[in-house]
Structure 1
Amino acid sequence: MENIQMPLQIEGINDNIYAGFGSRFASLILDFLIVIPVVILILYLNGLSVNAFFYTLIPNLLFGLWFQIYLPKKYGGTPGKLIMGIKIIQINGKPIDWKEAFLRHSVLLVLTLFSSILMVVCLLKADETVYNDLGWIQRSQYLMSLSPIFFLIYTWASNIWIYSEFIVLLTNPRKRAVHDYIAGTVIVKQIYIDRINEIMYPNELSDNNIN
């Protein structure tokens, strides 16, 4: 997958073809703003009762898979990335497929599944009367108190993952995060996609022009 790698620079382009920290971080903020209505709805439903919390787990997971795997495979990025004019492609310049889309999200998916299973365990332990009498923040604290060690493990694992992503992203020339290395992907500025294809696969373009 990574036998053929895109160059660090392309002749005739003075700009960096790879999306840097700023544009990638901005795309995360945009994605968060876009999904706020869904987040608010889930939080509202979770607050209705313990049973309602159960019913939101599967839809929440499915929405995450759609947003983080289907959309990148279909369009080359999440809405935030597309708005910022950046696109996910393979390190060899080809569009990503299901494999790359899944691998990019794989670690977060594992963390999400762990969190969901942990939440189910805590909900089964929870006293519904106590839960319903608490405020929103207090409910989260109450559930966490039912399995403190596992929540601590989840928190540490999530923090290690997030910090490693930022550190790796800031310390390599192609601006790849850890999940990019896992999936064999890079994020490039969309305006340079055609030029990248010309450099990486000139023969394919010639064949298309002939046909």
Structure 2
Amino acid sequence: MVIASPWRRLLASLIDGLILVPLSFLLMSLAGINPLTASTTFLQDFLFNWLPSWAYYVIFTALYGATPGKMALGLRVVRTDGQPVDWLTAFMREVIGKTLSTLPLLLGYLWAFFHPRRQAWHDLIADTVVVRLGQARGKTEEGSLG
């Protein structure tokens, strides 16, 4: 397995954002909220941003091992033993883990830049790793585990 670089993972996340932001805007518009001018309540943020985002990440990760952003860049989320991610693992990684990775100023995401296997906190919580497809085994993208 070739471990994906944090930079490639960041780019995949930006691609996913290009899908999720318009989706949130659409859901808000369908609910009669102008997403460009209205300030939202906690409940509206939860319903139109968090829930759709969590559903998107959990469903794609559990069914395909990757979101569309990761698919576009040839990445896949797998368990550290190389097995596919199941629904519980996807939930632990995408909802519980990413929430914890986000809370302290995104420190959990930055962790991937320094961890030897490029694992962020949500990867460590769910026992997952992000890999590149179709590459040689046993290295990171940079050529070593360091």
TM bucket (normalised to shorter chain) is: 0.7 to 0.9
Question: Residue deviations 1:98-146, cap 9 Å, x none?
Answer: 12101102144589xxxxxxxxxxxxxxxxxxxxxxxxxxxxxxxxxxx
Residue identity in the other structure for 2:52 = F
Residue identity in the other structure for 2:20 = V
Give 1:136-155 correspondences, 5 Å limit: none
Deviation at 1:66, TM superposition (A): 2.2
Residue identity in the other structure for 1:174 = R
Count of matched residue pairs? 133
Q: What SS does the corresponding residue of 1:46 show, helix, strand or coil?
A: coil
Root-mean-square deviation (Å): 3.2
Q: 1:187 aligns with which of 116, 119, 130?
A: 130
Paired residues of 1:165 and 1:177 also in contact (CA < 8 A): yes
Change in Cα spacing, 1:180 to 1:55, as seen in structure 2 (3 Å) is closer
Deviation at 1:164, TM superposition (A): 3.1
Deviation at 1:76, TM superposition (A): 0.5
Query: Match for residue 163 of structure 1?
Result: 107
Q: 2:76 aligns with which of 71, 87, 104?
A: 87
Q: What SS does the corresponding residue of 1:33 show, helix, strand or coil?
A: helix
Paired residues of 1:21 and 1:175 also in contact (CA < 8 A): yes
Q: What SS does the corresponding residue of 2:130 show, helix, strand or coil?
A: strand
Q: Calculate percent identity across the aligned residue pairs.
A: 27
**Alignment pair present for 1:173 and 2:116:** yes
TM-score, normalised via structure 2 length:
0.74
- Cα distance in 2 between the residues matched to 1:108 and 1:186: 14
Query: Match for residue 5 of structure 2?
Result: 20
- Cα distance in 2 between the residues matched to 1:110 and 1:174: 19
TM-score, normalised via structure 1 length:
0.53
Deviation at 1:46, TM superposition (A): 2.9
- Cα distance in 1 between the residues matched to 2:91 and 2:125: 10
Gaps of 5+ in 2: 139-146
- Cα distance in 2 between the residues matched to 1:28 and 1:40: 18
Kindly indicate whether structure 1 or structure 2 has the higher relative contact order, using CA contacts under 8 Å at least 6 residues apart. 2
